[in-house]
Amino acid sequence: MAQRRFLAAAAHASPVLLDKAATLEKVRDLVGEAGRNDVRLVGFPETFVPGYPYWLGLYAPIAQAGALRELAEQSVVIAGGDLDGVARACAEHRVNVVLGVSERDGGTLYNSQVFIDSSGTLVGVHRKLQPTLSERSVWGQGDGSTLKVFDMPVGRVGGLICGEHSMNLARHALILQHEDIHVSSWPTFATLKGMEDWFDPHVDALSKVHAYTGACFVIVAQDPITRANLERIEQMLGPQDLLAAGGGRSAIYGPREEFVAPPHTGPEEKLVIGEIDLDRLQAARLQHDSAGHYARAEILRLVIDTEPKTPLLERSGS
């Protein structure tokens, strides 16, 4: 049975860009910090390991080949044991984690969230259904087989990544699976020219809508852009003046669109901690249960194709 009341956190932190080993060490340290503060669930930003490739929209595609090879090399191979140390830390500190990673599976990269419970068990992976804009040159598309909510010791936990929150049916798919806690993994574009006044209100609006329509808690985790990570990008690809250091806005929302943990912004790294009380969800769902009495299933129904998509389909000769 899920623990009804506990502390959760958004990891407001930055990776060591394109350094998988160092960033995984940072993840383990944050899990340890969470355990020492009696935090039972931590959500991480988008592709925290080995860092979000902010350069995608800053340089011509033809110039990015070397950087993309480096991203592939430093991406997480789940079957190869890259996350074993994180799993051990989760078990040691009794912390559940939703970790954003750039995942490598064969020759393809995926923008993924990995769900690891407090026993150290990998309970599931969600792959971003539709990479956004220039991301399509890097990551493959996920499929419906990973659009799931997972049973964890803290409740039914789901998540989406960045622009997926604009896919209303993807959000609704998780709501229909009785999502209690939603981990919303983002980078930050609050310091990108032309998006300074738009990005944070955009994320805030989507988070409130999901918290209210899903009658769930929403953990928003973003990574501020460090000067060191910007320098790493410019060492690979040259000077640019579109993206600046800074940004990042992490928070936890309750089912009435209120802040359980108010937004933390800027370069200071911290666990943004708030209390989750699952017993609050029943009252919210009595008003609007989008997976029940407020669904009108005889009029509106969502069909999800959950078959894993693969180019190889084997059939017996019989």
Domains and CATH numbers, the chain: 5-287 (3.60.110.10)
- What integer pLDDT is reported at residue 190 of this predicted model? 97
Taking only the tens place, the pLDDT of each residue in 103-128 is 999 999 999 999 999 999 999 999 99
User: Quick one: angle between helices 199-214 and 168-176, nearest 10?
Assistant: 30
Taking only the tens place, the pLDDT of each residue in 29-69 is 999 999 999 999 999 999 999 999 999 999 999 999 999 99
- What integer pLDDT is reported at residue 305 of this predicted model? 94
Those residues of the chain that have pLDDT short of 70 are 1, 318
CB-based contact 12:271 (threshold 8 Å): yes
Active-site entry in 135, 162, 164, 216: 162
- Is 46 an annotated catalytic residue? yes
- Is 128 an annotated catalytic residue? yes
Active-site entry in 20, 46, 135, 148: 46
Report the distance separating Cα 122 and Cα 66, nearest Å: 32
pTM: 0.96
Active-site entry in 128, 148, 164, 179: 128
